[in-house]
Amino acid sequence: MNPASGELLGAEALLRWNGPDGPVSPATFIPAAEETGLIVPLGRWVLREACAQARRWADAGQPLAVSVNISAAQFADPTFVDTVQDELRASALSAHLLGLEVTETLLMRHVEHVQRNLGVLRAQGVRVSIDDFGTGYSGLSYLHEFPVTTLKIDRSFLAPGRSGPQATALITAISGLGRALNLQVIAEGVEQPAQVRARLDLGCAAMQGYLFAPPLPPAAFEAWRRDWPAQHAAFAAHA
């Protein structure tokens, strides 16, 4: 989201589990899926659904890039690149409408393997984002070595305990680094209008968070998307 212009920049596919006793936190079921090995087939299903939904929006004349979080176990799977290519072909989705979100820690594992696989996918047009940027290794060298397109500033930089000159300097530095490297920079976890103005003032024009919309199923998201221009007008008037 660009809150200044109102432009919707993309959507992120989020996995939610509604159990018999109520919602189960991803912090609970994602580690369990990784420990049992289910994260690979589960991740493929998420990728398939995300590609199919992005294609439906494109067919409706409202193309929107959709990003999918990729776990280390998925990326390590020898069929990962084939899986992404297969799902793109099956959905007939243009590759530039698919984004993959990886962590700094994942990038530093088996560097040559990661470079090679990301290079193949980027060559086809798939976007690559570094999620939770600033909380891992944060090595400047890998921004040159890996074909990434986006940096997502971790939500912890917006936490009240991280406010002050140091947090401001870090966000300013990350935003400036992104611009210098021609990378998009997105601030995660935006929940308060004051955070919007602060991030805009620091040079970060793209944001995501509950202030704009909570996680929504496709039908509800489409309704929100139709209403967003009016919401943005009201939001801008009070910003």
pLDDT tens-digit profile of 103-153? 888 887 778 888 899 999 999 999 999 988 876 665 667 777 789 999 998
Q: Cα(179)–Cα(9) distance, rounded to whole angstroms?
A: 17
Tell me what pLDDT residue 161 has.
Answer: 63
Q: Evaluate if residue 80 carries a pLDDT over 80.
A: yes
Report the range of poorest mean pLDDT among 154-163, 185-194, 204-213.
Answer: 154-163
Q: Cα(64)–Cα(222) distance, rounded to whole angstroms?
A: 11
Average pLDDT value for residue range 201-209: 89
Q: What are the phi and psi torsion angles at 44 (to 5°)?
A: -65, -40
Name the residue ranges covered by the structural domains of the chain.
11-238
pLDDT tens-digit profile of 5-44? 999 999 999 999 988 888 899 989 999 999 999 999 999 9
Is-contact 106 114, C-beta < 8 A? Answer: yes
pLDDT tens-digit profile of 41-60? 999 999 999 999 999 999 99
Is the model more confident about 10 or about 235? 10
Q: Cα(68)–Cα(223) distance, rounded to whole angstroms?
A: 22
pLDDT > 90: what percent of the chain? 55
Tell me what pLDDT residue 143 has.
Answer: 77
Tell me what pLDDT residue 89 has.
Answer: 98
Average pLDDT value for residue range 174-187: 90
Tell me what pLDDT residue 137 has.
Answer: 60
Is-contact 190 214, C-beta < 8 A? Answer: no
Closest CA relative to residue 33, chosen from 22, 21, 20, 46: 46
Is-contact 210 216, C-beta < 8 A? Answer: no
pLDDT > 70: what percent of the chain? 92
Is the model more confident about 203 or about 134? 203
Tell me what pLDDT residue 46 has.
Answer: 97
Which option is the CATH number for 11-238: 3.40.30.10, 3.40.50.1100, 3.40.50.1370, 3.20.20.450? Answer: 3.20.20.450
Tell me what pLDDT residue 48 has.
Answer: 97
Tell me what pLDDT residue 12 has.
Answer: 96
Is the model more confident about 233 or about 69? 69
